Structures are given as C-alpha cells and as structure tokens.
C-alpha cells in the first residue's frame, strides 16, 4: 500500500475488511522496530518492507481473519462488541495519532456489514432503526487524563490518546427523531463515507444543559477510617443543588464524581462548569458530559456518571466541609474529616425528588466538536 498517495491509501483502507476476511492465510511481519526489518529467518531482498502495521495487527485481533494466529471472539454482538473493541483499541499506543481511524477502519466496516442496523461514526456505535431504540454510544470515560487528538472530535474516543471504558446501555444517549435525522444528514453530507477524516466532525444533539460548580475533595490527615470517596489526593466532584431542600437543609448539596478527559484550562470557570445531561430516566443513574464552550461548538473535557452498584460512583448527600485556601487547577478544595455536623451518605431510594428539577428543565440543541 502506497503511503504517498492519500486517495489510493484511503481506497485500500476501505477494503481491508474484505481483504482479511477473504484471506486463506495471513503472514504477520510484526518483528523489528521499523519497516525495513523484514521476516526473521528469510533472506532480505531489496525493497522488502515490514508489512504488519498497527492497522493490520488490530484487524487480525478484531477477528477479521479467523485463520490468523491470535484471532479471537468475546461472544458479544452488535454495538456492544464494537464498544469492547474500541476499549481494547484505546489502550494502544499508536505511532501516528492521525492514523487513529485508519488503523481500525477495517474492523468497523466489517462489523457494519455484519451487524446491521448498527453502524459507527468516528468509531462511535449508533443505531437509527425505527423499530428499535435509537441510540448513539457517547457515554464513556477515561480512568485518568488523556492527550487530545485535535484531528478527531472530542466526543469520540478516537479524539483522545488514552484508555477508555464505555458505560452500559442504560447510560447511552437515546436519540430523538430530530437527533437521528441530524446524524443521518451528517453521514450523507460527508465526502463518500461516514469515517473519512474530512467528514464533518460536529454532532448536533438535543440535551438539557446545566452549569454546576466543581470542587476538589481531600481527606483530613490522620483519619484512619473514612469513606473511600476521600483520599489524600484530590478528587473532583460536581456540586448539584437539592431542588426540594427545606430551610434546615439549605447547606446540604448533592455530589457527583467527575472524571476529566483533560485538566480544565486555566481560563475555565469551574464555578460554572457546563454539563450536558446524557441520561436522566433514572435520576439516581445520571450521566453527564462535561463541556468547554468554544462559541460555535462545545468540546468534551470530562464525564460524570452514577452507578448504583458501585459505591464510588453513587450520588452523595453532603454538608459540613472545611474550605481550604489552596486550590487544585483553580478548583476550590474542600476537606472532609470527622467532626460534628458533617454528613456524607449515598442517595437512597425515595429521595429522587431532590433531582426532580433536572426533568423539569427545557432541552436545547447543541453542537459537539
């Protein structure tokens, strides 16, 4: 495959799924550090080059060729299988960030043909079939901060150099008819396919947009027993108001753990953190995308999600913190410690009315980039 002819390279990449699924046998030249190493044990000939690129190896691992050594299947199907493949792929270190899409394009094309009506856009699975739930899988998170790939949209894992984990289907974004039409138009208005890098990277969706403060919390030194939410290292939490709070509860707030894709920039106002509600059908299982406003579009910079089965990711009710003079990346730091009047507990059944204001808010259409 010529690396100097962009049009020819793109045309061949589009056919990688057919090439590998049709192969009787695949030889993987994966040894060495560069393209000149060749095949161990065979005489090197002039012009011979190593052929196992990151794309080749991942397509084989993605089960495109069952006759290739190391091919496997995890038993998943449809969009869930694509999500698992993207998770594995996101943990890889690529030689060239701009090839993040090319290196997995054959796998995506293969699953698109196999798993209709599921499809992908910028590596994100979605489904627009009218007789099924219409979703796009934009709910995923980084375990630690990642490095931005500006060539790709921030709402796709391909837009970041860092390992990700998708949320369960419950937390994925359910598309309205208007949103589904926007995605369909988005694909059709590209230059021939839904994945090519020059395809529009902007996504229009209808969400509920809110602004919340973010705080960093740490544990007081010398405290031996304490909630695992608090450590000696700061952890970031969104601070949500309690909609039905009485006068006695005025100081009580709700706290939701947030994981940053990247540290907020110096000019970011962490007292007015922009959040798009991705899922609010179950008010104790919220999903929010943390955004940065660029004027004509929003860039994703973090994700907050609650899971009832995981203690660290449950919504917490709290009050009585010490406010410290120090800050973490411009974010106010609170200290949690054992003291009279301190409260920290998980949101329990029967208290969903604390978040009822979320359902009452009006949705707006935003552009993600």
Tell me, yes or no, whether 175 and 100 share the same domain.
yes
Q: Domain count of the chain? A: 2
Q: How many other C-beta atoms can be found within 10 angstroms of the C-beta atom of residue 303?
A: 23
Tell me, yes or no, whether 242 and 161 share the same domain.
no
Tell me, yes or no, whether 157 and 291 share the same domain.
no
Domain boundary among 201, 227, 243: 201
Q: What is the pLDDT of residue 234?
A: 77
Q: What is the pLDDT of residue 190?
A: 43
Give the DSSP per-residue string, 230-262.
--SS-EEEEEE--TT--GGGTT-EEEEEEEESS
Whether residue 39 is contained in a domain is answered as yes
Domain that holds residue 227: 208-368
Give the DSSP per-residue string, 181-217.
HHHHHHHHTSSSSSS-TTS---EEEEEEEEEE-EEEE
Secondary structure E strands in the chain: 118-121, 124-127, 135-136, 140-142, 147-148, 160-161, 164-166, 173-174, 203-212, 214-219, 235-240, 253-260, 273-279, 287-293, 298-305, 316-319, 322-328, 331-336, 343-346, 364-368
Which pLDDT tens digits describe the chain residue by residue (369 residues)? 555 666 666 566 556 656 666 666 666 565 666 556 666 655 554 444 444 455 545 554 445 555 544 434 444 557 888 899 999 999 988 888 888 888 888 888 888 877 777 888 899 999 887 667 889 999 999 989 999 999 999 999 999 999 999 998 888 999 988 888 888 776 655 433 455 444 578 899 999 999 999 998 876 654 444 455 555 567 889 999 887 544 445 568 889 999 999 999 888 899 999 999 998 877 777 899 999 999 999 999 999 988 756 656 678 888 878 888 766 667 888 887 666 667 777 777 666 778 888 888 899 999 999
Q: What is the pLDDT of residue 68?
A: 46
For strands 253-260 and 203-212, give the pairing.
Answer: unpaired
Q: What is the pLDDT of residue 224?
A: 46
For strands 214-219 and 331-336, give the pairing.
Answer: parallel
Instruction: Supply the pTM of this predicted model.
Output: 0.79
């Amino acid at each position: 495959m010529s690396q100097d002819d962009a049009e020819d390279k793109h045309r061949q990449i589009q056919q990688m799924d057919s090439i590998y699924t049709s192969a009787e046998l695949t030889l993987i030249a994966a040894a060495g550090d560069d393209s000149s190493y060749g095949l161990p044990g065979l005489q090197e000939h002039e012009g011979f080059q190593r052929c196992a690129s990151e794309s080749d190896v991942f397509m084989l691992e993605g089960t495109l060729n069952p006759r290739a050594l190391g091919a496997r299947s995890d038993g998943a199907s449809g969009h869930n299988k694509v999500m698992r493949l993207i998770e594995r792929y996101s943990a890889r270190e690529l030689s060239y960030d701009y090839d993040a899409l090319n290196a997995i394009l054959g796998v995506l094309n293969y699953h698109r043909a196999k798993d209709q009506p599921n499809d992908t856009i910028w590596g994100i699975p979605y489904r627009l079939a009218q007789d099924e739930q219409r979703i796009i899988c934009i709910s995923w998170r980084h375990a630690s901060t990642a490095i931005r790939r500006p060539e790709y949209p921030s709402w796709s894992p391909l837009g970041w150099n860092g390992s990700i984990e998708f949320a369960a289907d419950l937390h994925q974004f359910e598309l309205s008819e208007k949103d589904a039409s926007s995605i369909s138009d988005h694909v059709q208005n590209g230059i021939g396919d839904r994945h090519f890098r020059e395809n529009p990277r902007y996504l229009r969706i209808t969400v509920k947009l809110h602004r919340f403060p973010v705080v960093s919390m740490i544990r007081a030194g010398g405290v031996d027993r304490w909630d695992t939410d608090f450590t000696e290292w700061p952890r970031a939490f969104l601070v949500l108001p309690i909609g039905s709070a009485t006068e006695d509860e005025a100081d009580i707030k709700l706290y939701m753990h947030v994981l940053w894709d990247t540290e907020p920039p110096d000019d970011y106002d962490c007292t007015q953190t922009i959040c798009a509600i991705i899922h609010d059908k179950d008010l104790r299982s919220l999903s929010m995308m943390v955004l940065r406003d660029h004027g004509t579009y929003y860039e994703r910079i973090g994700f907050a999600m609650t899971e009832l089965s995981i203690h660290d990711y449950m919504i917490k009710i709290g009050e009585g913190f010490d406010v410290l003079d120090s800050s973490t990346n411009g974010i106010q730091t609170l200290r949690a410690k054992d003291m009279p009047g301190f409260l920290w507990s998980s949101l329990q059944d029967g208290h969903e009315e604390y978040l009822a204001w979320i359902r009452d808010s009006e949705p707006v259409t935003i552009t993600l980039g």
